[in-house]
Every structure is written in C-alpha cells, then in structure tokens.
Amino acid sequence: MKKQLILENGEVLIGVGFGADQQMSGEVVFNTGMTGYQEILSDPSYCGQIVTLTYPLIGNYGINRDDFESISPAIHGLIVREVELAPSHWRNEESLDTLLRAKGIPGLSGIDTRKLTRMIREVGTLKGRICSMDVNVDEVVQELKDSAPLQDQVSRVSTKDPYHVPGKGKRVVLVDCGMKHGILLELIERNCDVVVVPYNTSAEEIIRLGADGVLVSNGPGNPQDVPETIQTVKDLLGKVPLFGICLGHQLLALATGATTSKLRFGHRGSNHPIREISTGAIDITAQNHGYTVDHDSLEGTNLIITHIAVNDETVEGLAHKEYPAFSVQYHPEANPGPHDANHLFDQFMTLMNQTQTANVLA
C-alpha cells in the first residue's frame, strides 16, 4: 500500500507502507549505523521521532528477544530504502514488519533515504508525518508548522516506579531518563546492586537509598525540559560519585551553570570518533543526541572538558574540578556500536571505590 512522508517544508516522499497501518507525526532524524536496527528502534532516546536509516537494506536478520534496549519502543516511525519481509538468521524470531505492527509503529520503505538525509543535513531536522495518500498535503504541512515540539518525552519513557536489580557489589542508583538496557547490563556485569528510579526522584531520596554512586542515563528531548533532574544532579554533587551518559551529560552541565543548544541535525550512528584531550587517544563511539553542551558556557563553571568530537569539535566529555563527577555525550555501552569506550564503566567503579576509601580515612 502506497504511503507518503510529508515534511513541514512542503517536501513529499512517496513509498510503500509496512508495519502498523496508521498515521504518525514526529521529528525526522537519521541514523548512519549499518546494523543494529532493533536496538535503534527500541532506544527510548528516539521517543517522538521518525527515524531514517541510511543503510539501504533493513530487516534482513529479523528481530530476536535479546537485542531490545527497552520493552516498548517509543519511536513514531521508521523510514528505510528497502525492507526485508522474510529475514534469514539463526537468531531470528519475527520480522521487523510484524514487530512494528504489534507495537503500533508505522514504517515506510522505497524512500530515497540519501535524498532525505542530505535534506536534513542542509536545513536541519524537520517535523514530518507518515500518512496515507488521500490526505490534503497543504493542510498537513500547516499542521506540522503549527505544532509545538514535544516537551514531555522523558516522563513518557522513564520508569514510573523504582525497582531493584539485586547484586552483591556497589549500590548504584540509576536515574532513568530513558535508560537503555545496555547500561543496566554493564552495571550488572560488574556485580552492582542497582536501584532504578524515575527521572524526578529527589537527591534526598537517592541518598536515603544508600547510594555508593549515581548514574544519570540517556534520554530523549531537550535537557532543559527536565528541571527536576537538573535540580537532583545539582543537589547530589559532592555527596556521591556521579556518572552521566548522553542526556545525563547535558544535565550535569546545566546543573553547574553551563548551557545547552540544539544541533542542526544531531549525532546518530555507530562510528563517531572522539578524542580524549589528556592522552590524544581516539575512540569510535555510538551516539544518539540532538543537543550539545555549549563550549563557551563552560568557562567560569567547575567543569573541565575531557573529550571532544573529532568531526565538529563539540563537547563530548566533562569532569568536575572538585567533586567525583564526570560525564560523556556518547554511549559507552554501545548497543549497537563499538565498545571502545566500555572502560568508562570501570572508571565509574574506580571512582566509587576511591570515594569510599577517602571517606573511611577521613
């Protein structure tokens, strides 16, 4: 069945629908990863977005039970050049088409994804709508132009209630702003005793839980839309070791007086090089974010830049000058992507151990 993607700039791209047969709007973004479509579509950081995959063939290895980054995908649509409806792989359990149908997510294939990606790179991310062929295009374009950006994505994808993942090691409180399961898995593999809490949990409650360390997760949207979490991070600084990933990185910056702004088309993919300033070492990283910490705004704060992006020199890592707190803009757990930066979880473990030792000696 023919369907179309209508963009707020008036562009219309016609393709063939798959997945759920329904209309859905969202911010149209692109991801350059060659594999990992299951992890991408289930990453809560894509909440409210229509994701364009630049690799031309998607769905060929199907869907399996192990590669989900969340139970309920929050994307608003998936756009591909070609979709494989009959996957072949020993781990395959269902097709991409059947999964999207079950989750109520529309897909659109047969689209010139190269053209769409070049358009987004030139003019920036665009609001769009996947819909049937019988709609009034001019009316849809006007509705897209008039629609306000979402501001509640984090509350949509964060856990509603705290839950415990028992372990015999350090007690880590994981603030869920749209957490990927890969982050939780990395903590479990290090024997951490993890308590996952909602994004708006207060610092007082986190301290009451007996946290040896706090990890503030990735998540969707504008970091300025979650003032509750910013306040929590501000109140935790100096009281407990803190590690921020992606959105958590931006929240650490905001909590210390820096500012953030929106990138034209964001960083989304599995091959983004970053440089560690102190050593010059290069890591290839997985990234998914549309906002960045403003470089100049860090002057006068207690944060130092530890990593920068090789491609555009945006801020990719921060550390606090006085307190045990650091953050990165990229995803050290990857899923999908290279595991060059996986050592950052070990750095967090070391930070918790050092802080505990210092407290005992004091």
Beta-strand pair 282-293/171-176? unpaired
Let me know: does 39 contact 67? Beta carbons within 8 Å. Answer: yes
Let me know: does 125 contact 265? Beta carbons within 8 Å. Answer: yes
Backbone φ and ψ of 85, nearest 5°: -90, -15
Q: Which residues of the chain have pLDDT under 50?
A: none
Q: What CA–CA distances, in Å, run from 318 to 102, 154, 214, 250? A: 40, 22, 16, 10
Backbone φ and ψ of 326, nearest 5°: -150, 165
CA dihedral 271, 182, 264, 111 (to 10 degrees): 80
Q: How many residues make up the chain in this entry?
A: 362
Backbone φ and ψ of 67, nearest 5°: -100, 15
Q: Determine if the peptide bond prior to 336 is cis (ω within 30°).
A: yes
In 290-311, which positions are buried (b, 16+ CB within 10 angstroms) versus exposed (e)? bbbbeeebbeeeebeebbbbee
Q: What is the pLDDT of residues 196-252, one digit of tens each?
A: 999 999 999 999 999 999 999 999 999 999 999 999 999 999 999 999 999 999 999
Residue 253 to residue 306: CA distance in whole angstroms: 13
pLDDT at residue number 15: 98
Write the CB contacts of 138 (distance below 8 Å, at least 6 apart in sequence).
Answer: none
Nearest to 258 by CA among 223, 228, 225, 288: 223
Strands (E), 8-144: 12-19, 24-31, 49-53, 57-58, 77-79, 82-83, 106-109, 126-131
Residue 242 to residue 102: CA distance in whole angstroms: 38
Backbone φ and ψ of 337, nearest 5°: 135, 175
- Residue reference for tokens 């009451």: 208
Which one-letter amino acid corresponds to residue 306?
T
pLDDT at residue number 358: 67
- Residue reference for tokens 């869920």: 176
Let me know: does 328 contact 340? Beta carbons within 8 Å. Answer: no
Note the Cα 29 to chain centre separation in Å.
13
Let me know: does 325 contact 241? Beta carbons within 8 Å. Answer: yes
Q: Which residues are catalytic?
A: 246, 331, 333
Residue 84 to residue 55: CA distance in whole angstroms: 13
Nearest to 13 by CA among 88, 87, 89, 81: 81
Strands (E), the chain: 2-7, 12-19, 24-31, 49-53, 57-58, 77-79, 82-83, 106-109, 126-131, 163-165, 171-176, 193-198, 213-216, 242-245, 260-276, 282-293, 303-309, 315-320, 325-328
Let me know: does 277 contact 302? Beta carbons within 8 Å. Answer: no
pTM above 0.85, yes or no: yes
